[in-house]
Amino acid sequence: MSGRAVCFGELLLRLTAPGRELLLQNGRLDVHVGGAEANVAVGLASLGHKAAMISRVPDNALGHSAVGYLRRYGVSAEGVSFGDGRMGLYFLSVGAGLRPPSIVYDREGSSFALAGMDDFDWERLLDGAELLHVSGITPALAPRSAQAAIASVEAARSRDMRISFDCNYRAQLWQRWDCDPRSVLCELVDKSEILFGNHRDISLLLEREFSGDGEQRRREAAEAAFGAFPSLQLIASTARHVEDADRHRIAARLDSRDAAFQTEEVVVGGIIDRIGAGDAFAAGVLHGILNGAGHERAVRYGLALACLKHSLPGDASLFTQADIDVFLSGELDVRR
- Span 141-151, mean pLDDT? 95
- Span 193-210, mean pLDDT? 95
SS3 percent helix, strand, coil of the chain, rounded to 5, is 40, 25, 35
Predicted confidence (pLDDT) at residue 205 exceeds the cutoff of 90: yes
Segment 243-269, tens digit of pLDDT? 999 999 999 999 999 999 999 999 999
Beta partners for residue 14, in sequence order = 32, 90
**CA-based torsion, 77, 78, 80, 83: positive or negative:** positive
Predicted confidence (pLDDT) at residue 1 exceeds the cutoff of 80: no
CA 206 to chain centre: 22
Counting Cβ atoms within 10 Å, is residue 230 exposed (0-12), middle (13-18) or buried (19+)? exposed
**Average per-residue pLDDT for the chain:** 94
Give the model's confidence band at 214: pLDDT under 50 very low, under 70 low, under 90 confident, else very high. Answer: confident
Provide the pLDDT for residue 238.
96
Least confident interval from 15-24, 68-77, 204-213: 204-213
Predicted confidence (pLDDT) at residue 332 exceeds the cutoff of 60: no
Provide the pLDDT for residue 212.
72
Segment 269-294, tens digit of pLDDT? 999 999 999 999 999 999 999 999 99
Predicted confidence (pLDDT) at residue 172 exceeds the cutoff of 90: no
Provide the pLDDT for residue 333.
55
Segment 58-110, tens digit of pLDDT? 999 999 999 999 999 999 999 999 999 999 999 999 889 889 999 999 999 99
Distance in angstroms (rounded) separating the CA atoms of residues 69 and 229: 36
Give this prediction's pTM: 0.95
Distance in angstroms (rounded) separating the CA atoms of residues 117 and 73: 27
| Position 87, amino acid | M
Q: Calculate the alpha carbon distances from 116 to 68, 95, 112 in Å.
A: 24, 36, 8
Are the C-beta atoms of 41 and 314 separated by less than 8 Å? no
Provide the pLDDT for residue 67.
98
- Percent of the chain whose predicted confidence (pLDDT) is above 90: 89
Provide the pLDDT for residue 176.
85
Provide the pLDDT for residue 2.
55
- Span 161-173, mean pLDDT? 93
Provide the pLDDT for residue 330.
85
